[in-house]
Structure 1
Amino acid sequence: MKIAVPKETKSFERRVALTPSVVKSIVKSGFTCIVESSAGEESYFSDASYEDAGAVIVYGTPQTLSGADIVLMVNAPTSQEINFMKDGSVLICYLYAYTAPEVIDALNKKRITAFSMDAVPRISRAQKMDALSSQANLAGYKSVLLGANALGRIFPLMMTAAGTITPSRVLVFGAGVAGLQAIATAKRLGAVVEATDVRPETREQVESLGGRFIQVEGVEGVKVEGGYAREVSADYLQKQQELIKSRIKEADIAITTALVIGRKAPILITEEMVRSMKPGSVIVDMAVESGGNCALSVFGKTVVEHGVTIIGEPNLPSLLPVNASELYAKNISTLLLHLANSSGFKWEMEEEITKGSMITHDGELVHGFTKEILAKKNP
C-alpha cells in the first residue's frame, strides 16, 4: 500500500505528518512511503533524510496525492487537495469534522474514508495514538515561555544584595493536558501558580504540581463527558468571572486554555478584567483559534491593550516543530498500524478505536458525535 505525506499548507503550520525515523519503521512494515519534496523542511527534516529512511521524494502536491492509497496529514486537506486524492482512498489527519461540513461533503463525494486524530477515543490502549495530548503538552510548555519572554520581570524569588525580588504570579485557566503542563512549567521556573477549572476533580492534579486550585463554589451547571466540558451554564460562567476578577488583578501572567467542544471558546477575560490587570502583565490565549478566551485577543497577533500584552498565537505546538512532528508522527503511525497492515485495512467497524475515529466511509458521514453537533447547528 502507498502512503503519501504532502507538505502542509495551513497558515502558521510548521509540522509534518511523518518524520524520517517513523518513515523507516513504516517502510520496514511493508508500506511504500511517498513524501512531497520539502514537506519536512519547516521541521528541519531534509528530503535526503527521508530518502535515507526509504521514502520516495515526489515533486508537487498533485503527484504526491494522486496515486496514494493512504494520505497522512496534520491538518484537514483543502478542497483542491481532496480533488487530487484517489477515489476510495483513506485519509488520516486532524479534521475537527464538526467545524468543517464542507470538508465532509468533499470527502464523501470521492468516497474517501477519513479518520480524525482529534476523535481517537481517550482510552488506555489508545494512549500512543493520542495526538491531542502530545501536542497539548508542548503547547502548555511553550505558552509559559512566550509569557515569560513578554513579561518585564523574572519568574523566581531572587535574593540579592540590592534587595529581594518577589516571584511572579501565574494564573492558569483550565487544567487539562495543556493547562497542567503550563502549571508544571511555571512552577519549575519559580512562579507562584494558581489555576481554575470547571471540573472540580482536577484539584488534586493541580495541587500535585504545586499549584493552588481556585474553585467556583455552590453552583451547578457543568456538563462533563469523556473528561471534557461539553456544556457550561450561564450561571456558572457568571460566578466564575466574579471569582476571576478578584484573582486576575494580582496575576503577572494569565494563560487560558478553556474550550467547549462543538462551540466557540467561552470568554473568560473581559475587557474590564484586562483593564484591571497590572501594567506590563501578559495574557497568553491558547484558545484563540476557537474564538479566544480573552475578549481582546487577536488571532495570530500579539497586541497591547490597556498596558497588557495579549498573545494570540494560534498554533503553539508548531513553534516546537521538531518535537511536535516527532510526537505526532508516532501518534499517527500507531493509529495507522492499528487500522491496517501492508496488505490493506482491517475494517473492524465495531472496534472501539476504529468506530470512534472514523468520520466518513463509503460516501457517508458515520461519526455519531459529529452528526449530533452538525444537527444542532443546522436543525
Structure 2
Amino acid sequence: MSWRRHTGLAVRAMVRGDLAAIGFMMFILLVVALSIDLAKWLDTVRARAEATNSPLWQVLFPYIGYRSADIVTRLLTMACVAGGFVVTLLRHQRLDDVVLAAAGASPSLRLTALLISGVLLGTLQMACENWLRPAAVEAQVTANLGDYGNRYHQTDVGTQWVLTDTRALRATVTRGSEAELSYVMLFDGIEQPTLSRVLHADAATPRGLLNVWTLKDVTIWDTTKKSPEIEPRLDLALNISSEKLRWFGIDGYYLPNDVARVIAATDTSEATPTAADAATALAVRKVAIFLPGIFAFLGVSLASLGTQGRRLAPFKLLALATVAYLAVVSVKVFWALGIHGVLSPMLAATLPALFALGLATLLQLYQAGYLPRPHRTTGSLT
C-alpha cells in the first residue's frame, strides 16, 4: 500500500538522517553562540552567584538554559538549511538515491521524509517562538543575567516622548509591575499653530481602565483661561496604556502572546514597543511551524545542484551555500521591515518563506526535467 511505502524503513531512515544532520548543525551553532556569550557575560554570572551566596553552577546552568532557548529559536532555521544541505551531499556520496531508484522508489519518499522532519522541527520552532523564548528571556531579566538583564532589568528608563497626531506626552518612565510616570508634561493641539492646553503633573499611575491614569498635583494651562488651574488629583486618558508602560522598550518577539495581542491591537504611534512590532512577532509565531521544513527543503534542493555525476563541484557548492545563507538572512530582513511598519506583519512573516519554498520547488522541477535546460554546443573535430 502507498501509505506503508511512505512510512517504511527507507523513509524512517531518511527522517533519522535529516534530524541527525540538523541536530548536529544546531549543536555546533549552539556551542559557538554560547561560547561567545559566556566570554562576555560570565563575570556577571559569577557576580550574581556571589551576591546571592550560591554556588556558581546553580546560577550558570539556568543561565545556559535561558540562553539556549533563545539561541535555538534564532538559529534553528539556519541549522535546517545547513543540515539539509549536508545530508544531501552525504546521501549522494553513499549512493542512497541510486539504490532507492533501482528498487523502484519514487522521489515522493524523500519528500515525505522531509515533511515528517519539518513537522517535528516546526513544532519545536513554534514552541520556542510562542512560549519557551519569552519565558526564558523574562526569567533572565528577572535574575538580571547576561545581555537581556543588562538591557531590560533596569525599570527606570529615563525621560521619554510619546506622540500622537494631536498630543505629545513627556515623562520619566518607570516600567515593570509597578509602572508609573513621573514629571509628566502633556501638550494638546500640537497639530495646530498654537497649543490648546499644557498640563503638568508630579506623577501618574494607571487606574486599571484602558489608558486612564490618575494624575497627582496637576497644573493645567488652558489658552482660553487667564490663570492656570491646580488640581490635587485628576483622572485623565493619556496616549499610553498601562500594559505598554509595563513592557516599555522591550522588543516584540520577547513579549508573551497575551501582552503582544494587547499591544498589537492599539495605534502604532502610541508607544514602544509599537503595535507593528508586536503584530509582526505574532505573525512570525503563526508561521513558525512551517519555516524549518521549508528551509530544510531548500537546503536539499540547492545541494542537489552541486554535483557532477558522482563527483562534487566544490566551487559550485560554495556558491549554492551562499544562496542558502542569503535566503536565511532575508527572513530577518523582512521581519525588520514588518517591525518598522514598512510591510504588513503577515506579509513580512510569510514572504521569505514563500520565496524559499518557490525557489526550492523550481529547483526540484528543474532537476526532474520539467523545466528547460540550457543547450550546450560542442565543436566538431576536423
The alignment's TM-score, normalised by the length of structure 2, stands at: 0.24
More helix as a share of residues: 2
More strand as a share of residues: 1
The alignment's TM-score, normalised by the length of structure 1, stands at: 0.24
